[in-house]
Amino acid sequence: MKTFAAALLMFALGAPAMAETAHDFSFTTIDGQPLPMSQYKGKAVLVVNTASFCGYTPQYEGLQSLWDDYKDKGLIVLGVPANDFGAQEPGTNAGIKTFCESKYDVTFPLASKETVKGSGAHPFYKWAAATLGEDKAPRWNFHKYLVGADGKLVAAFATRIEPESKDVKGAIDSLLTK
């Protein structure tokens, strides 16, 4: 019954009804190249909607630290810039990339700017909300979704939960030791 309800909600939101895992979705890199999530099969992925002019923007430091500490252990950190909350990501993809690299030394993958809420949300975000529930949808910048190696959503972490918190790191450690 839950599967039917999730499929119905995904249809209503405009998400692909047949999507079963994050591997069914694709983004575009900040440089304009295809970024299929299927390339991350076998790896855990932390998908984070980001913004350059937010009070939480310093979380880029924690995201970069996670990337540095876990990339060789099977974690991908994927930043998805979004201008949905307080218009705090108004720039172009090129400007966002320059900001992230020069201000926070970001080397983890960045997607192109996307919408992460509402009817125009990227299909991954529609699917995540339908799968975990609307209460787990992004309410602000730096919302985090943790995806398992099998592409299934494992957890959602609210904006205020720091990337290097025991909750986030514990969930990552749990996935990487399986």
How many domains are there within the chain?
A: 1
Give residues with Cβ within 8 angstroms of 36, minimum separation 6: 23, 25, 26
Phi first, then psi, for residue 122 (nearest 5°) are -55, 145
Domain range enclosing 128:
2-176
84-95 confidence digits (pLDDT tens): 999 999 999 999
CA 68, CA 164: separation in Å to the nearest integer?
12
pLDDT of residue 19: 72
Q: Which is the catalytic residue, given 7, 17, 54, 153?
A: 54
What is the amino acid identity at position 153?
L
Annotated active-site residue 100? The verdict is: no
pLDDT of residue 6: 46
pLDDT of residue 9: 44
Enumerate residue ranges in the chain where pLDDT < 50.
1-16
pLDDT of residue 177: 86
Question: Domain containing 136 — which CATH number?
Answer: 3.40.30.10
Helix (H) or strand (E) holding 154: strand 153-157
